Structure 1
Amino acid sequence: MDDAQKRRQLAAYIGKLFRDSFGKGPEGVYVSFGGPFFTVYMTNLMSATEQILMDQDQEEIIMSTRAKLMQKLIPEIRANVKLETGIELQEVYYDWGLHNRSGMITGIAHETFGAILTEDYQGKEQIHEEIIAISQRAQKAPEKINSYQLNPRTIVVIRSGILVMIEKELIRTGYEIQLKYTKRNLEQRFLHNNSHFEVILDRKVVDLFVDWDFEFDKSVILFVVSDIHSPVEMS
Structure 2
Amino acid sequence: MEANDKQVQNELTSHIGRLLRDAFGKGPQSIYVSVNRPFVVIYLRNFLSPTEKILLQQDQIYSIQSTRDLLMKSLFPEMKAYILLLTGLNIQEFYYDWGLHNQSGIMVGIDCDDEHPHSVNVHETYAGQEELHQEIDLISHNVEKKPEKTYSYKINDRTILVIRNGILISIEKELIRIGQEETLKLAKRNLEKGHLHRNNRFSKMLNAGVVDVFVDWDFHLDKSVIVLILHPSS
Output the CA distance in 1 between the equivalents of 2:197 and 2:136: 12
How does 1:12-161 map onto structure 2 within 5 Å? 12-109=14-111, 110-111=113-114, 116-161=121-166
Aligned with 1:32: secondary structure? strand
Query: Is residue 3 from structure 1 mapped to residue 5 from structure 2 by the alignment?
Result: yes
Output the CA distance in 1 between the equivalents of 2:37 and 2:79: 18
Aligned residue in 1 for 2:178: 173
Q: Give 5+ residue unaligned stretches, structure 2.
A: none
Aligned residue in 1 for 2:227: 222
Count of aligned residue pairs for this structure pair:
229
Give runs of ≥4 in structure 1 deviating > 3 Å. none
Percent of pairs with identical residues: 51
1:211 to 210, 216, 219: 216
Q: Residue 2 of structure 1: CA displacement? A: 1.4
Q: Is the 8 A contact 2:38 2:120 kept in 1?
A: no
Output the CA distance in 2 between the equivalents of 1:61 and 1:27: 22
Q: Is the 8 A contact 1:31 1:41 kept in 2?
A: yes
Q: Give 5+ residue unaligned stretches, structure 1.
A: none
Output the CA distance in 2 between the equivalents of 1:208 and 1:74: 22
Output the CA distance in 2 between the equivalents of 1:159 and 1:124: 14
Q: Residue 35 of structure 1: CA displacement? A: 2.8
Output the CA distance in 2 between the equivalents of 1:195 and 1:206: 12
Q: Which amino acid is the alignment partner of residue 212 of structure 2?
A: D
The alignment's TM-score, normalised by the length of structure 1, stands at: 0.95
